[in-house]
Amino acid sequence: MRTITIDEAPRFVGEEVTVRGWLYNKRSSGKILFLQVRDGTGVIQGVLSEPDSSPSLFADADRLNRESSLIVTGVLHEDHRAPGGCELQIKDITVVQEPTDPFPIELKEHTPGFLMDHRHLWMRTGRQVPILRIRDTVFRAVRDFFHRRGFVATEAPILTGTSVEGTTTLFEVDYFGEKAYLTQSGQLYLEATAMALGKVYWIGPVFRAEKSKTRKHLTEFWMAEAEMAYYDYADNNRLQEELIAYIVGAAVAERKQELDLLKRDTEKLLEEVSLPFPRVDYADAIKLLQEAGHEVSFGDDFGAPHEVTLGEHFRKPVFIERFPVSMKPFYMKRDPSEQSRVLAADLIAPEGYGELIGGSQRVDTLEELSAQLKERHLPSEPYEWYLDLRRYGSVPHSGFGLGMARTIAWICGVPHIRETIPFARQLNRLYP
Ligand code: 4AD
Ligand code: MG
């Protein structure tokens, strides 16, 4: 007998197969039992009719509770009404374990707090499985993209002695009596690695002690970061838009069924990633927002309502570029044509999903870097190694960081990024 996964079922219509999984849901209609079985690759409907099966099998199956773990054998039949296109006529069931209590997640509405408290069980249900499968595809697509372009995968340390993205969102750790921090971004280390290897990337966990409780902020999240020697500002932005188009293309090609389950409009998604993405000067973006009725002025950061307006206006990801120096971290190179601006762009998602990428050309001279550290009252000792990169064979270089959770939320069309990671860490959320 052949053991299959549920996503393989259409290939084995007419054959007897075994599926190993869990009882997702159960319905009965008179003398027929419908057992929906899930196994992580999909859900299949198993059918058991009282006249055709042994009375004990029917009675045993009728007693089963949701999330009983089961090994089910039966014959696959084509059924166009069934999701996945087939149904399993059940011949035998082996129960691996019967739950000790009723499964807490009912297939109806629960409050977000309840669901997040039961995240370890919630993830088995509804749209959570397709979202996590799409997450897997997005991670793989990022790696494929970089490998095809000759990037070297590398790593940055999680425990660090310095801040990258400002000192207000650092998680402090006691490091044998010394102060250490959980990294906010691997960027500075990737800059060093790029000077050794040329073009590098990683997908790593990063940490921000964000006090904000929004649908776009986690305190621990995964970032795909890349750093390229000899790339200027324009090269950097081109690479970013190609990456985004590649990821979305891969997700739609490989996870169409999951995206359909989430009711995501994939046509719209593909239209949104047609290249190139618009590039809009920060000052023009502020003007555009003012004309749309927002109260913002030059020097302000964008909030959620501004990002929604930008999304509605451009209908695709948009680079907002050349920010005022004061808005951005110390490592960004100033625009030679306007010293009060940096060669940096944020890529803002359509549909209100917020900033997907932050990127810039980096400061590449010792004088400019020392001056910028001083200006921001950052001590130079912990950054000596980083200053060394400008002492020994410095070259123009650029890089960026892509927030994986926000990218996945946009691709899936789910409103809150807490659903795009197996176990979200947020303000007030350390359990489970
Ligand atoms: O814009 P950020 O802060 O950029 C950096 O950290 C750079 N050092 C990256 C680099 O150039 N290598 O963060 C990059 C991206 C944001 O655009 C956003 O998508 C995501 O990371 N991000 C968050 N995602 C979830 N929760 C948070 N609290 C996030 N903060 C940033
Ligand atoms: Mg940013």
CA–CA distance, 197 with 377 (Å, rounded to integer): 31
Tokens in use for 129? 């499985």
| Nearest ligand to the CA atom of 400 | 1
The residue extents of the domains of the chain are 2-97, 120-420
Residue nearest atom 23 of ligand 1, based on CA coordinates: 403
The pLDDT of residue 82 is 81
38 lines ligand 1 (CB under 6 A): no
CA 239 to ligand 2 centroid distance, Å: 17
Q: Name the CATH topology of 2-97.
A: OB fold (Dihydrolipoamide Acetyltransferase, E2P) (2.40.50)
For the chain, the helix, strand and coil percentages under 3-state DSSP, each to the nearest 5? 40, 30, 35
Query: Given the DSSP bridges, would you call strands 344-348 and 338-342 parallel, antiparallel or unpaired?
Result: unpaired
The pLDDT of residue 30 is 84
355 lines ligand 1 (CB under 6 A): yes
Total-model pTM:
0.97
Q: What 3-state DSSP class applies to 322?
A: coil
301 neighbors 324 (Cβ within 8 angstroms): no
The pLDDT of residue 399 is 99
CA 345 to ligand 2 centroid distance, Å: 9
- Cα-to-chain-centroid distance, residue 145: 16
**Which portions of the chain are predicted below pLDDT 50?**
none
CA–CA distance, 398 with 17 (Å, rounded to integer): 53
The pLDDT of residue 51 is 84
- Cα-to-chain-centroid distance, residue 121: 20
The pLDDT of residue 73 is 98
420 neighbors 414 (Cβ within 8 angstroms): yes
44 lines ligand 1 (CB under 6 A): no
The Cβ-side half-sphere exposure at 360, using a 13 Å CA radius, reads 23
- Asked if the domains at 2-97 and 120-420 fall in one CATH topology, the answer is no
362 lines ligand 1 (CB under 6 A): no
Q: Name the CATH topology of 120-420.
A: BirA Bifunctional Protein; domain 2 (3.30.930)
